[in-house]
Amino acid sequence: MMGHTQWLFFMRIALSFLLASLAGEGVCRLARMPRITGYALAGLLLGPLGLDWVDGDDLPDFRFLVELTLTLLLFELGVRVSLRWLKYNPWVIASSLLESVATFIAVFGVLMGMGTEVKSALSIAVIAMGTSPVIVLRMVTEMRAQGQVTQRLLVLCGLNTVYSVVCFYLIMGWFQGAFHGQWFTALFHSFYLLAGSLGMGLVLALSFKLLRRMFELSDEQSAPVLFGLLLLLQALLVALELPVFLAPLLGGVLAKHFDPRPHLWPRHFGTAGSILTIILFMMTGSLLTRNEFVVGVGTAMIVVLVRFVAKGLGVLLLGPVSGLNLRQSLVLGVVLIPMAEIPLVELMDMRALYPQMGVKILPIVFSMMNVLEIVGPMAVQWGLIRAREFQEKTS
């Protein structure tokens, strides 16, 4: 029997979900804006800044779903990062490194200039490197986008997510060492997290290939198998205390590399994927408290701007040698705007581990994240339309 509070909880969440999905449809039809901008707006409305139906205390109940969503999307993104392509066209890696390093330096510099202390500035700079896989993949799917800008957007997003997560763990390791004075343990731990993630990614890719071959699975049949494998991976990662996000992304990259056959299963994940995305967006909106918003939003806006300029210049500089024309290079800078939600869960952990640091970083990061969840999808939509890489819907 369901308890009284549980019943209320489900009702609250169900209504929130319904409202968020309708908000998505609403902004899409009335304002021709991306659905996920609507989800993000609904998230803010439902969160502590608005009705306060959902807040940070609900996160533990949704942690599993949030992580599952990210696992699926990151694997899908990984499959779109072709190592062969990076070999044929190393300028793509060069432009990826340039835009990420430029973002890191610019954001770190500006925060230091504004008097933020070093550790917070480092953390925020590292988080700012990443482009949001969730927004990018949803927008590419929704617009059925294809072409060079789309292709590079996906690859740069995959790569800067890897840099961002790796650096985040390195920095956390460093903090830990600094806090506890155990340098060796801290370094070893960071190494364990990264090597472990790579190893698990490898295991995932190989087992997917093996199962596909053993059972001669067609694309459609392989979708449930893959889903099962990703669930298993998620469980193993939790058991081994490895980060949940690096392994599926690396696993996707390796899966495509070992098995370059077409991967059509994202089509079969479609509906489930979009439902999980709504939940994820509801949660980010719900994390931002009024207090944090007031403290963080000013700095956040400056960082958002600096980040945009750094990414834009980075890809503009190396766009042409990597095979884009000027217009495509400019557009690529714009579509990289959405910021990763990956650190969401890590940040919650950090808030628990190092409360003083959390207080300094979270207002800025959560404000950035929320601003970019509203602006980011619109930027991607604008960019892909400018690049003429979207497909009209045919009924």
Partner 1 sequence: MKLPPFTSSRPLTLGVELELQLVNTYDYDLVDSTTDLLRLLKKKGKDWDVKPEITQGMVEMATGICVSHADVFEQLDEIRQGIVECADRLDIGVCGGGTHAFQHWSERRIYDTPRFDQLSSLYGYLAKQFTIFGQHVHVGCDNADEALTLLHLLSGFIPHFIALSASSPFVQGNDTGFHSARLNSVFSFPLSGRAPLIETWDSFGEYFDSMMATGIVKSMKDFYWDIRPKPEYGTIEVRVMDTPLTIEKAAQIAAFIQSLTRYLSLERPYAPRETDYLVYTFNRFQACRFGYGGVYVNPRNHEHRSLSEEILDTLNKIEPHAIALKADEACAALRREVSNASSDVGWLRQQHAQTKSLAEVVQRQCARWRV
Contact letters (x/-) for partner 1, 133-152, by CB under 8 A?
-------------xxx--x-
Instruction: Say if CB 342 and CB 70 are below 8 A apart.
Output: yes
Residue environment code for 315-333, b if the CB has 16+ CB neighbours within 10 A, otherwise e: bbbbbeebebeeebbbbbb
Minimum distance from CB of 225 to partner 1 (Å)? 16
- Residues numbered 213 to 252 that lie near partner 1 (CB under 8 A) are 218-219
Nearer to partner 1, 128 or 140 (CB): 140
The angle subtended at Cα 334 by Cα 166 and Cα 330, nearest 5°, is 115
CB of 102 to partner 1, least distance (A): 23
For partner 1, give the closer residue by CB, 212 or 307.
212
- Does 270 contact partner 1 by CB under 8 A? no
Joined together, the tokens standing for residue 53 give 């139906």
Cα diameter, the chain: 64
The site map against partner 1 for 250-269 (x = CB under 8 A) is ------x---xxxxx-----
CB of 32 to partner 1, least distance (A): 21
Q: How far is the CB of 220 from partner 1 (least distance, A)?
A: 10
Q: Which residue from 159, 121, 131 is spatially nearest to 372, judged by alpha carbons?
A: 131
CB of residue 283 vs partner 1: minimum separation in angstroms? 29
The answer to the question of residue 325 lying near partner 1 (CB under 8 A) is yes
Of 129, 133, 137, 132, nearest to 97 by C-alpha is 129
Contact at 8 Å (CB) between 289 and 365? no
* Residues from 52 through 81 that contact partner 1 (CB under 8 A): 79-80
The alpha carbon dihedral of 66, 219, 208, 144 has a sign of negative
- Where along the sequence are the contacts to partner 1 (CB under 8 A)? 79-80, 82, 84-85, 88-89, 146-148, 151, 218-219, 256, 260-264, 323-325, 388-389, 391, 394
